Chain A
Amino acid sequence: MIELEQRFAHLVTALGQRKLEEVELYAKEGRSHRVEIGPSSRPGGLVEVRSEEAGWAVRASGRRGSLFATGTGLPDPSGPWPESRGEPTQLPVARGAATEADTSDREAPLMVESEAIDRLGRFEPALRKELADARLIRAVLDDGKSRARLLSSRGMDCTQRSRAAALYLEAVAGDARRAVQLAAPTAIDFNIEGQARQFATFLTIAREGARGVSEPGEMVFAPTAVARLLQGLLPLLVGGDGWRIARHLRGRKGHIASHRLTVVDDGALAGGVFRTATDGEGVPTREVVLIEQGEYRQPLLSWREASPAHGESSGCMLRPSWREPPQPGPTHLYVRPDVDVSPAALISSVATGYYWLDALDGGRFDPAGDRFELPVCGFRLRRGEASEPVAAARIAGSIGKLLRGVTGVARDLSFFPRGYMLGAPTLLIEGLELTGDADQTPPD
């Protein structure tokens, strides 16, 4: 790392001679181990990949413009550098050292091949135990860790360590198909057998469930389905445009949502997969309340967008890779759970309605136009119990009505990867309407 500091000093000198006074160097090293298996009926379909990456990114800016350059290894101060153009890029000023939370859990060795094969291999037998004709199409386990250092001419000097594992599962039964992507701090955190049971439920619903239901009723949304709703609301929750959208969505009492609904983003969330003390520009991360008990507090804003009129900033400039410039976005965006309410209590409170387990695709959300539609699957509920599977239904209506219709929030907060983490507990929502059939959009 001494070499990196010396290189950064040379960079500042070299780029300074080109009238680029603001300079930032981001250097990242990482290792990952990926194991993929196919169906047991196709023996030999094993793929094992071990990657070691080392890359850098330089941002530099002066009065006449800015540049962003990246490459493998370490940067050569003598270049070649692209011409600086466009608008100058202002870099944040270091304001004290942000201490990284305990990172000891990120130092554990990556999963070895035999362990990964063993874990993935447990999925198909467990699935077949529940659903005899089901079969695995593809299972992929990715385990990786990285270390990044950020230095800037504005005094920024921080180190970020990260550790994350991803699991992809895809299975079929008859004409029904399901695929999920999950993320966890390490590969041993995935509950493979639990996933197999969930797959069996979804595949059974897809095969045997009713289509085109439209009878009214209260709706319970499982965390997976709530996460899809939350994803559709991102324009309201992230970036300066959020204020304008919130104005359209406000109800008569000035609240945007039910008093039961609180939405938070927290880059430093304890136990979070992507938790980090500083963001991709070295600005400290923190918890930001975006909707508090139904009241719109502010959108998620970077330090460049924040002002007394628009809201406080947080470290929310994401740098998922060294290859792209930092962009504003959420890290762990979630609906705050109610620890006193169990999901079962919400389900059993429904006389006539539905329990939506998942969305069939991302749906369509137009927060500015106050309308959405989401194809979903789950169960019909009668007197608090699942009475019939529903393979496809389409919910459509007003986003304002959706947010104000939340009448119950449970304690079962779960997170789902979308490039960032989206967290949701089970919700009970009233006043939504079904418009009839909905077919699943196959993946690209």
Chain B
Amino acid sequence: MSFAALETLPIARSLAQIADHGDDLAEVYLERVEEVGSADDRWAPGLTVRREQGFSVRLVRDGKTWLAARDGFDGDSFGAALRQVARALPTARYAVPRLEIAPDNQPISAPEVLEFDSLLRRAVSQHHVAFPMRVETRRHRREVQVVGTKLVPDREEELYYSCRVGLPWGRYGSVLTELSATTAGHLATGLVAAFRGSKAPLVEPGVHPVVLGPAAAAVFLHEAVAHALETDTLALEGPPEAAIGVQLGSEELNVLDDPAGAPSGVKRATDDEGTPVIRRWLLLSGKVRQPIADLAAAASSDRLIPGAGRRANRYLPPVSRSSHLELVAGPHEIQDLLTRADGGLYLPEATRGSLDPHTGEFRMRFPYGRRIHREKVGELVGPLVLNGRVAALLEAVCGVGSEPEIGGGWCAKGGQRLPVWATTPALALAGVEVEW
């Protein structure tokens, strides 16, 4: 996969023809995607491969966006897309650049994907349990090149994996930076706990102190901090920059979005709009420092900094999204957090989280939990749900752990499915509403 041979100057010249207003933003986004998967499904073939490539042309003017997307790369399609987004007929015919990029003819091989199924099954059996599973593993590769009228950043590449396990009591998914016996072991531990949790007694509804394990804390911060500070969410209630300086949560919370600090294989120097990424402080001592903004949002206020534009694919315009959240580690060892939440629940991992951007109502589902009894992690409880208003939950944070872990997951806000990453320690919350 490579855009290395792409002639970007003629593309930039063509774009300049349609960006004829002073503040226009015009760009071409080119992508190549490869997904290699294996599923033990009776309908699925042994190995599935998807290789696709295409581009889109985008023009943003006065807050309005026009985008034209095409599959494949060729000059005629590019000219047609350019005409579709242009707002006025040109005085001269558009100069259509050659857009010839050699097809990706690399041999298809993914032994790590094929082996992961047996690694995972072996890891589960080491727990001396057995249950039916449908395992689907995929390797995702993506290459992105953005060409603007003035800047042509370096191309970006991503490589990561996903594993989805269908179980009789629900689905369980994970996004990973590598497939190995270690990752299979972690996944198996979660699956086995979820299996045992599905048969465990349910927790009594009410207000409980809780400790979120690093993986669950990542989901919590993704929903409660990242989504809450995305400019499209903030714009629902007023100018996004008005959030700057607001005390959103406990003073113990120091949260960043740092795409360049993401794990190897998914770290980025520029975003999907070609803007350099920044180490963006979202919360400093619980106070909002900087919302998550893309170019279109940042054009509306000089207090907003772009660099967080992300796209699920070429058919949709970019949106403001986090890439790699980081919760700055606190002073507390896990034992301190368990002491603070004694009599409550330890929730190691969440299956999903959701935020109503309008009401601030927040909900997180957990496949299982464990009681904290005499400051120790004790017996299993069944699936449960954590409810509350974002502001109240962030205010309830009473301890940040000292040992961060790296994890990944999918974000599906607004119909754009994106991989997201986080480096987070455990987190204690003083008292939150829990139900089953």
Contact = CB atoms under 8 A, between A and B. Distances in A.
A444 B71 contact: no
A331 interface: no
A101 interface: no
A62 B335 CA distance: 57
A384 interface: no
B93 interface: no
Contacts of A439: 387
Given A45-B63, A84-B47, A172 B358 contact: yes
Contact of B105 (A80, A82, A323): A80
Contacts of A81: 108
A55 B71 contact: yes
Contact of B46 (A49, A50, A86, A442): A86
Interface in B357-377: 358-359, 361-363
A69 interface: yes
Contacts of A442: 354-356, 359, 361-363
Interface in B26-70: 36, 38, 40, 42-54, 62-70
A77 interface: no
B358 A52 contact: no
Contacts, number: 150
Contact of A177 (B53, B315, B358): B358
B197 to A, nearest CB: 16
Contact of A67 (B46, B67, B72, B315): B46
Contacts of A84: 45-47
Interface string A397-420: 000000000000000000000000
Size bracket, chain A contacts: 35 or more
Interface string B407-419: 0000011000000
Contact of A444 (B48, B84, B317, B413): B413
A61 interface: yes
A79 B107 CA distance: 9
Contacts of B109: 83
B236 interface: yes
Interface centre among B103, B353, B387 (most CB of A within 10 A): B103
A55 B52 contact: yes
The interface centre, meaning the residue of A59, A79, A85, A86 with most chain B CB atoms within 10 A of its CB, is: A86
A175 interface: yes
Interface of A: 42-55, 59, 61, 65-73, 76, 79-87, 89, 137, 172, 175, 177, 323, 325-328, 439-444
Given A177-B359, A443-B354, A51 B315 contact: yes
B114 interface: yes
Interface of B: 36, 38, 40, 42-54, 62-72, 77, 81, 84, 103, 105-109, 114, 235-236, 315-317, 352-356, 358-359, 361-363, 387, 412-413
A70 B50 contact: yes
19 contacts: A45-B63, A45-B64, A47-B65, A49-B66, A49-B315, A50-B68, A51-B69, A53-B71, A68-B48, A68-B49, A70-B51, A72-B71, A82-B36, A82-B49, A85-B47, A86-B38, A327-B43, A442-B356, A443-B356
A131 to B, nearest CB: 15
Contacts of B362: 442
Nearest to A42: B235
A374 B109 CA distance: 46
A44 B63 contact: yes
A87 B105 CA distance: 26
A319 B254 CA distance: 46
A359 B356 CA distance: 17
Interface centre among B45, B103, B387 (most CB of A within 10 A): B45
Contacts of B46: 65-67, 83-87
A76 B105 CA distance: 10
Contact of A49 (B49, B77, B317, B356): B317
Given A53-B71, A177-B359, A72 B108 contact: no
Given A69-B49, A85-B46, 11 more contacts: A47-B67, A51-B69, A54-B71, A55-B52, A67-B49, A73-B72, A87-B46, A175-B358, A441-B363, A442-B363, A444-B354
A86 B65 contact: no
A82 B108 contact: yes
A50 B45 contact: no
B359 A323 contact: no
Contacts of B68: 49-51
A40 to B, nearest CB: 13
Contacts of A87: 42, 46
Contacts of A49: 66-69, 315-317
Contact of A52 (B70, B359, B361, B363): B70
A61 to B, nearest CB: 7
A43 B63 contact: yes
A137 B358 contact: yes
Contact of A70 (B38, B49, B105, B236): B49
Nearest to B65: A47
Nearest to B313: A51
Contact of B236 (A48, A137, A441): A137
